[in-house]
Amino acid sequence: MPLYADVIIDISTEKLDRPFSYRVPEELKESVHEGAEVKVPFGAGNRERKGYVVGFSEKPAVDESRIKDILSVDESSVSAEAKLLSLASWMHRRYGSTMINSLQTVLPVKKKIKEKSFKNYCRNKGEAEIRAEIASLNPVRFAGRIRMLNALLIADVIPGDIAVSKFSLSPSVAQTLEKQGFIKVETTRQYRNPVAADFSLSSLRSIDLTDEQKLVVKGVKEELGKTDRRPCLIQGVTGSGKTEVYMELIRDVVSKGKQAIVLIPEIALTFQTLMRFYAVFGDRVSVIHSKLSPGERYDQYERALNGNIDIMIGPRSALFTPFKNTGLIVIDEEHETSYKSEKMPKYHAREVAEYIAAREGAGLVMGSATPSVESSYKARQGIYAYFKLENRFGNAVLPTVHIVDMRKELKSGNKSFLSRELSNAISERLIKGEQTMLFINRRGVAGFISCRSCGYVMKCPHCDVSMTEHADGRVVCHYCGHTIRKPEICPECGSRYISGFKAGTEAVEAGLKKMYPSARVIRMDADTTKEKDGHEKLLSLFADGKADIMVGTQMIVKGHDFPNVTLVGAIAADISLFSSDYHSPERTFDLLTQAAGRAGRGDRAGEVFIQTYDPEHYALKAAADQDYERFYKEEIIYRKLGDYPPLMHVLLLEFYSKDKQAGELRAGLMAERAKGREGIAVLGPAPAAISRIRDIYRTGLYFKSADIDKLTEIKDQAEALQAQFMEARSGPDVTLQFDFDPVENF
């Protein structure tokens, strides 16, 4: 029987959507595999072209007589593209998505390079003079000028767009600095480069590592030098010098002629972070992030392909940098959920990095102050090598953390969202001219049901997860579908104050304005940061002291240093704690630990208030004491009891349909097919936490197993079944997505 291969001729994405069908000649059957580089005749005149195999079929897609043969297979090919293609093919099989989706994830869009001209601000005076000027300026009135002068101390030339976007340089400040002779303005043409590769540095920075840091570097190098090297996990509090350790390891790899990929959560991808890498590695560094245009992205891909750079920094998609010889992959803040893709293929950067590192013989180094429970578990099992940095560099002071029992507040008649303790602390800061950050968890929107009088939280009798209030007055468990009517009074204490919790950032902002009419309040959430750079604009307003209080979702607590912030408040720490998701305690712990790290980063000690209806919860108490060990010990017990990762793997099948019943039916059928298999538990089907979005109904079906391969079999079976349905085209459309070890609530 002849075999047909789907071949993509050109991997510029415009043509990705259309693979062409070729016959696989008998003699090539053994050597043609998915991702293989092949030669095929193409177009008028049958010119020989390079192509990549992306799939197979037994039937030709077009009339048999029009199909041509594959000419040859390039088995020796280890080109960067071929490696990416085979990576796409692995992701396609591992995570269950179409090959096209996987290719689009892995390959960038090709676009023409346009020339651009730019203003450059060049340093025109000596370092001493600049320092003297900075010292003489009033830091509040001339914040803008000082920012720019400080930048000039690091780089001799600052491209105009960066001066404006990152240092908020205004025309008047530029004029003043030019008039005073601190800068010269030049207009030049610039090759598209997302950050400051054109920064000409006076000299590359080098530092002496502390003894503790040296020890970790030595240990990691030893591990990575072994043939059976393991991924390395570095646990170190914020400010312990993890980044310095990464840079030392990268220096070592680069000196051996290899390249490094550094993953950073998008939110931490600040100019400061990049500047640190530039200061050490100069313009051998590049960056990709979501705000780059497709053209800029493509340029970075080309620069890596051409060997113009050694280091790529970026969010999870930086994994797909086409380096010739990747020697090291670093994942900073490895516990961050943004490392999991929410689009098909729903891959986790950690897993893909492990795969790439193993294939390329590269090292994998992960770091965090609060490692994910998954990674900590692997470290304890010896699957990861484990290292620790216990001391902060310099002598940063830890803040004092208070847990506030909001049930007591209610009992004493305070129905506001602010406890008296926290509101007193805010008043104090306003008087002293210090700043406050208040945050609320975005994940709370779904609204668990709790009693504000006794703290009771309504849980599913079958699943031990909290139930969610729906607009129609029902309360539903999103794991098994158990449904009841919303109670009028608390079943525990009889109080009327039982309801879905719904304190949003807007409500808090409004409340603050009423309570402190003269305070300047900034709100930062998805709504106020929609525009490009919206995020950074608000942050720099706050940094410049143009506001007293910043209210926001969890995005405000990540990775920003404001020396004048001496108070941090978590308005409702429970909201994330009781969302119907087993990750909740971990998220809460991470968030509160990070938030606590935000208070008092200057020389003044900070204060943190955690408001809660459940002050005894282990995640809160451990966060208040900044005690990771204690948190982990409690958490792993809870995961064991609930059969959750890392002890078990979870596969979620997501069914989407305009027809409610069609989705449920298909899910039911697949549940039925999978039943009775050994070592696999089936949960559901049940409506998703958000059961309908834009008139599409969402149904979830969960499988649990300690063995990931068993879940992969389930996925394959479901895929095959789904293909049959697609072919038959009977009944309403139902689409299916797969999510292994999901990190977000579905």
The vertex-587 CA angle with 582 and 588, nearest 5°, equals 105
**672 to each of 666, 718, 741, how far by Cα in Å?**
10, 11, 21
CB 305 within 8 A of CB 314: no
184 residue type, one letter: K
For the beta carbon of residue 117, count every other beta carbon within 10 angstroms. Answer: 9
3-class DSSP state for residue 681?
A: strand
Q: Which residue from 240, 372, 564, 745 is in contact with ligand ADP, where contact means CB under 6 A? A: 240
479 binds, among Zn ion, ligand ADP, none (CB under 5 to 8 A by kind): Zn ion
Encoded amino acid at 369, one letter: A
Nearer to ligand ADP, 208 or 390 (CB): 208
Binding of residue 210 to ligand ADP (CB under 6 A)? yes
Choose the contact partner of 210 out of Zn ion, ligand ADP, none; CB within 5 to 8 A by kind: ligand ADP
CA dist 340 and 105 (Å) reads: 13
Q: Which residues bind Zn ion (CB under 5 A)?
A: 451, 453-454, 456, 460, 462-463, 477, 479-480, 482, 490, 492-493, 495
Stretch that binds ligand ADP, among 237-245, 442-450, 573-581, 693-701 (CB under 6 A): 237-245
| d(C-alpha 449, C-alpha 579), whole Å | 10
Is 560 a binding residue for ligand ADP by CB under 6 A? The answer is: no
Question: Which of 629, 624, 597 has its CA nearest to residue 396?
Answer: 597
Can residue 238 be called a binding residue for ligand ADP (CB under 6 A)? yes
451 binds, among ligand ADP, Zn ion, none (CB under 5 to 8 A by kind): Zn ion
Site for ligand ADP in 355-394 (CB under 6 A): 393
Select the binding partner of residue 241 from ligand ADP, Zn ion, none (C-beta < 5 to 8 A, by kind).
Answer: ligand ADP
Contact range with ligand ADP by CB under 6 A, out of 238-246, 300-308, 654-662, 691-699: 238-246
Cα(325)–Cα(31) distance, integer angstroms: 25
213 binds, among ligand ADP, Zn ion, none (CB under 5 to 8 A by kind): ligand ADP
- Amino acid code (one letter) for 323: F
Q: Cβ of residue 489: shortest distance to Zn ion, in angstroms?
A: 8
CB 653 within 8 A of CB 738: yes
Exposure letters 84-104 (e unless 16+ CB within 10 A, then b): bbbbbbbbbbbbbbebbbbbb
Strands 37-42 and 72-74: antiparallel
Instruction: Select from Zn ion, ligand ADP, none the partner in contact with residue 489, using the beta carbon and a kind-dependent cut-off of 5 to 8 Å.
Output: none
- Taking contact as CB under 6 A, which single stretch among the options 202-210, 263-271, 440-448, 667-675 is the one that binds ligand ADP? 202-210
Site string for ligand ADP, 244-283 (x = CB under 6 A): x---------------------------------------
Kindly state whether residue 120 participates in binding ligand ADP, applying the rule CB under 6 A.
Answer: no
Owner of token pair 């143009």: 546
Whole-angstrom distance, CA of residue 192 vs CA of residue 528: 29
Nearest-approach distance from CB 457 to Zn ion, in angstroms: 10
> Least CB distance from residue 678 to ligand ADP, whole Å?
45
> Which of 207/358 has CB closer to ligand ADP?
207
- On the 0-12 / 13-18 / 19+ scale of CB atoms within 10 A, 728 is exposed
Number of chain residues interacting with ligand ADP (CB under 6 A):
14
By CB under 6 A, residue 580 contacts ligand ADP: no
Binds 268: which of ligand ADP, Zn ion, none (CB < 5-8 Å by kind): none
CA 297 from centre of chain: 18
153-182 binders of ligand ADP (CB under 6 A): none
- 212 part of the interface to ligand ADP, by CB under 6 A: no
As measured in angstroms, the least distance from the Cβ of 275 to ligand ADP is: 11
Smallest distance from ligand ADP to CB 616, Å: 31
365 binds, among ligand ADP, Zn ion, none (CB under 5 to 8 A by kind): none
CA distance 617 to 572: 13
* Whole-number Å distance between alpha carbons of 664 and 685: 7
Closest CA to 276 of 252, 244, 234, 238: 244
CB of 371 to ligand ADP, least distance (A): 13
Contact present, 580 and 683 (Cβ < 8 Å): no
Q: 3-class DSSP state for residue 270? A: coil
Residue 207 binds ligand ADP, judged by CB under 6 A: yes
Binding-site ranges for ligand ADP (CB under 6 A):
207-210, 213, 236, 238-244, 393
